[in-house]
């Protein structure tokens, strides 16, 4: 019996495997290099995957054909990559255009890539940075670097004495990820959510990415959590220029 499987390998191997499995890859031409904004389309509307091994007489295979289901940006080898997913048929990816920062338009399933200004894609420059002390039920503004009661990015929510959360507010989003220090490059390609996160999931030493209410990329480290009740959080944060 022939067994078909896709191992987790380097991106270039996956590219070759996709072609061998019948997933034809021919990326759409990019816009001219001098263009400040570039739309990058996925190479296919539908993708086909099948077994290519020779089969004994009497055996056949049914190819899997899937539509483009999702676009996303992933960190591959320390660099942002544009990924087009085709459900059960697999995915294809490419590096982001040189000198440009890309965002995935999930509704229309393409990428918008804009020319990098200032410090570059890996170092856009710091907007604000420093420590913030957040009392229970208060909020923190990661653009201005202060504790506040209104108009902020994260809320130290207390549902009960023991059910405590970090909750994004005012359109901000958070990405827990693996809680490592990802910096701007990692946080700019993280998968964000507007869902609250239980305090128990982010112990002292955790790094959390934030997309602020003003659209900037930020990251904070959980430096300390006081004992007793009500509690106080001590964080150290950096918010970048974009």
> Distance of CA 15 to CAs 74, 148, 228, Å?
15, 49, 54
Q: What is the pTM of this model?
A: 0.52
CA of residue 6 relative to chain centroid, distance: 23
Q: What DSSP letter does each residue of 90-114 carry, written as one string?
A: -EEEEEPPTTEEEEEETTTTEEEEE
Sign of the Cα pseudo-torsion (62, 63, 64, 66, in order)? negative
Is it the case that residue 126 has pLDDT exceeding 60? Answer: yes
Q: What was the pLDDT predicted at 10?
A: 39
% of the chain with per-residue pLDDT over 70: 82
Is it the case that residue 93 has pLDDT exceeding 90? Answer: yes
Q: Would you call 235 exposed, middle or buried from its count of C-beta atoms within 10 A (0-12, 13-18, 19+)?
A: buried
Q: How far apart are CA 217 and CA 183, in angstroms?
A: 9
Q: How far apart are CA 10 and CA 236, in angstroms?
A: 35
Please give the order of strands across the beta sheet that includes 126-135.
126-135, 232-240, 217-225, 207-211, 173-175
Q: Is 218 helix (H, G, I), strand (E, B) or coil?
A: strand
Is it the case that residue 47 has pLDDT exceeding 90? Answer: yes
Q: How far apart are CA 197 and CA 176, in angstroms?
A: 8
Q: How far apart are CA 220 and CA 154, in angstroms?
A: 11
Q: What was the pLDDT predicted at 6?
A: 35
Answer whether 198's CB lies under 8 Å from 183's CB.
no
pLDDT tens digit sequence for 76-91: 776 788 999 999 999 9
Q: How far apart are CA 151 and CA 141, in angstroms?
A: 7
pLDDT-based confidence at residue 123 (cuts at 50, 70, 90): low
* Residue 212: closest CA among 145, 114, 136, 130: 145
pLDDT tens digit sequence for 164-203: 999 999 999 999 999 998 888 889 989 999 999 999 999 9
């Amino acid at each position: 019996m022939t067994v078909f499987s896709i191992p987790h390998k380097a991106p270039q191997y996956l590219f070759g495997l996709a072609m061998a499995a019948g997933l034809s890859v021919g990326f759409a031409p990019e816009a001219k290099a001098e263009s400040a904004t570039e739309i990058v389309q996925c190479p296919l509307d539908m993708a086909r995957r099948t077994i290519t091994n020779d089969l004994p007489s009497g055996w056949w295979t049914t190819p899997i054909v899937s539509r483009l289901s999702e676009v996303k940006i992933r960190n591959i080898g320390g660099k942002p990559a544009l990924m087009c997913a085709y459900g059960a048929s697999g995915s294809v990816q490419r590096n982001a255009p040189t000198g440009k920062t890309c965002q995935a338009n999930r509704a229309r399933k393409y990428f918008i890539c804009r020319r990098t200004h200032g410090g570059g894609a890996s170092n856009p420059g710091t907007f604000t940075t420093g420590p913030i002390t957040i009392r229970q039920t208060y909020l923190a503004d990661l653009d201005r670097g202060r504790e506040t009661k209104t108009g902020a990015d994260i809320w130290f929510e207390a549902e009960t004495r023991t059910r405590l959360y970090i909750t994004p507010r005012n359109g901000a989003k958070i990405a827990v990820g693996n809680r490592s220090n990802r910096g701007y490059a990692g946080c700019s390609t993280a998968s964000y959510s507007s869902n609250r996160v239980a305090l128990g999931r982010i112990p002292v030493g955790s790094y959390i990415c934030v997309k602020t209410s003003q659209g900037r990329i930020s990251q904070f480290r959980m430096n300390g959590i006081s004992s007793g009740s009500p509690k106080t959080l001590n964080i150290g944060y950096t918010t970048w220029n974009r």
